[in-house]
Amino acid sequence: MTNHPPYNEAPTGNVALVTGASRGVGRGIALSLLASGFHVYGSGRTIDQADLPQEIRRLRCDHLNDAETAGVFDVIRSETSGLDLLVNCAWGGYEKMVEDGTFTWAVPFWEQPAHRWTGMMDAGVRAAFMCSARAARMMIPRRRGVIVNISFWAAQRHLGNTIYGIAKAATDKMTSDMAVELKPFGIPVFSLYPGLVRTESVLAAAKSGVFDLSTSESPEFIGRVVNALFHDPNVMARTGQVLVAAAVAREFGVVDVDGSSPPALTPADI
Q: Tens digits of per-residue pLDDT, 152-198?
A: 999 999 988 999 999 999 999 999 999 999 999 999 999 999 988 88
**Helix axis angle, 127-139 to 66-79, nearest 10°:** 30
Looking at residue 111, what DSSP letter applies? Answer: G
What gap in Å lies between CA 229 and CA 209, rounded to an integer? 34
**Is residue 4 domain-resident?**
no
Predicted pLDDT of residue 55: 97
Q: Positive or negative CA dihedral for 29, 264, 230, 127? A: negative
**Is residue 124 domain-resident?**
yes
Predicted pLDDT of residue 6: 40
**Is residue 3 domain-resident?**
no
pTM for the model stands at 0.92
Catalytic (active site) residue 41: no
**Is residue 1 domain-resident?**
no
Report the number of distinct structural domains present in the chain.
1
**Helix axis angle, 127-139 to 162-182, nearest 10°:** 10
What gap in Å lies between CA 126 and CA 239, rounded to an integer? 20
String of DSSP letters for 167-208: HHHHHHHHHHHHHHHHGGGT--EEEEE--SB--HHHHHHHTT
Closest to 32 measured CA to CA, from 257, 252, 238, 263: 257
Q: Which amino acid is at 160?
A: G
Q: Positive or negative CA dihedral for 61, 67, 70, 75? A: negative
**Is residue 209 domain-resident?**
yes
Predicted pLDDT of residue 99: 84
The single residue of 7, 41, 94, 164 carrying the catalytic annotation is 164
Predicted pLDDT of residue 205: 63
Predicted pLDDT of residue 1: 44
What gap in Å lies between CA 197 and CA 244, rounded to an integer? 13
Contacts of 57 (CB under 8 A, 6+ apart): 4, 7, 39, 40, 41, 42, 79
Give the pLDDT confidence of 97-112 residue by residue, as tens digits.
878 888 888 899 999 9
**Is residue 113 domain-resident?**
yes
Q: Which amino acid is at 236?
A: M
**Is residue 2 domain-resident?**
no
Write out residues in the chain with pLDDT < 70, as ranges: 1-12, 205-206, 208-211
Going across the sheet that includes 57-60, the strands are 57-60, 39-44, 15-19, 85-88, 146-150, 189-193, 242-244
Predicted pLDDT of residue 180: 98
Structural domain for 102, as ranges: 15-269
Cα–Cα separations (whole angstroms), residue 97 to 75, 119, 163, 194, 204? 34, 11, 13, 21, 14
Q: CATH number for the domain including 216? A: 3.40.50.720
Q: Which neighbouring-strand residues pair with 40?
A: 16
Closest to 192 measured CA to CA, from 86, 110, 109: 86
**Is residue 8 domain-resident?**
no
Predicted pLDDT of residue 93: 83
